[in-house]
Amino acid sequence: MSAGTDDLAARWAQVRRRVDDACREAGRAPAEVTILPVSKTFGPSLIRTAVALGLYRFGENKVQEIREKSVALADCGIDWVMIGHLQTNKVRDVARLASEVQSLDRLELAQALHGQLQQAGREIDVLVQVKTSNEPSKYGLPPAELPAFLDALREYDTLRVCGLMTLAVHSAEADEVRACFRLLRVLRDQAVAQGHALPRLSMGMSDDFPLAIAEGATEVRIGSAIFGARA
């Protein structure tokens, strides 16, 4: 392996160990939690190196990056996961290129995405993004609107709704961060009781994933801890 591959392999192994340790500390099996490498702002060459290590799912915040990287890495069999805020005028490329959207947060977006997926003859997994903090910069569906939204999504058979996603408050207070994750889990449990199958909880990033795992995360989204510091 090259030096760059060695560095990436070491960081990946360290992140996997930290996630596994957080699982054990929470009394959970490490196999219960997957890691979504977040490749936003990182170039195709580094992602290709990650593919050589066995990674094949990558989270991106911007449709433009998915579009450009999907061309450069067309031979790699990558599953692109849209995790950033998605505008309705960008859904055509997402419907064509992404395997999953984790930021579905409004009916207008569901309708637009469904229409483009029908034209493309595809179905994709989606997670509903819920706003669990009061930060103005955060996107997401208000928690009180989740039950009606999930019911409405039953009409769109191209969207395989399989879980919820959130971004926790940016705070040094662990209790405040953990409360965001706890709220998402409670909302999921309530939805399951109402007949929705939602096995996945995507929550937790590089700085707070142990708290998310303690509250039931099934997937954590990790970027710089795997790929290195962003420019």
What's the pLDDT tens digit per position in 160-175? Answer: 999 999 999 999 899 9
pLDDT of residue 230: 78
* pLDDT for 13 beyond 60: yes
Least confident window among 35-44, 162-171, 222-231: 222-231
Question: Distance between CA atoms of 75 and 220, rounded to whole angstroms?
Answer: 26
- Rg over alpha carbons for the chain, rounded to the nearest Å, is 17
Read off the pLDDT of each residue in 174-179 and give the average, rounded to a whole number.
96
pTM: 0.95
pLDDT of residue 5: 79
Strands 34-37 and 79-82: unpaired
Domain that includes residue 49, residue range? 3-227
* Lateral strand order in the sheet of 200-202: 34-37, 219-222, 200-202, 159-165, 124-129, 98-104, 79-82, 57-60
* pLDDT for 203 beyond 70: yes
**Dihedral pair phi/psi, residue 161, rounded to 5°:** -75, 115
Read off the pLDDT of each residue in 172-185 and give the average, rounded to a whole number.
96
CATH number of the domain enclosing 157: 3.20.20.10
* pLDDT for 1 beyond 50: no
pLDDT of residue 229: 83
pLDDT of residue 120: 95
Point out which residues pair with 192 in neighbouring strands: none
Question: Distance between CA atoms of 169 and 158, rounded to whole angstroms?
Answer: 32
Check residue 216 and report its DSSP letter.
Answer: T
Read off the pLDDT of each residue in 93-97 and give the average, rounded to a whole number.
97
* pLDDT for 103 beyond 50: yes
Number of domain units in the chain: 1
Point out which residues pair with 60 in neighbouring strands: 82
Read off the pLDDT of each residue in 111-133 and give the average, rounded to a whole number.
97
Q: Is 222 exposed, middle or buried, given 0-12, 13-18 or 19+ CB atoms closer than 10 A? A: buried
pLDDT of residue 3: 45
**Planar angle of CA 197, 164, 131, nearest 5 degrees:** 140
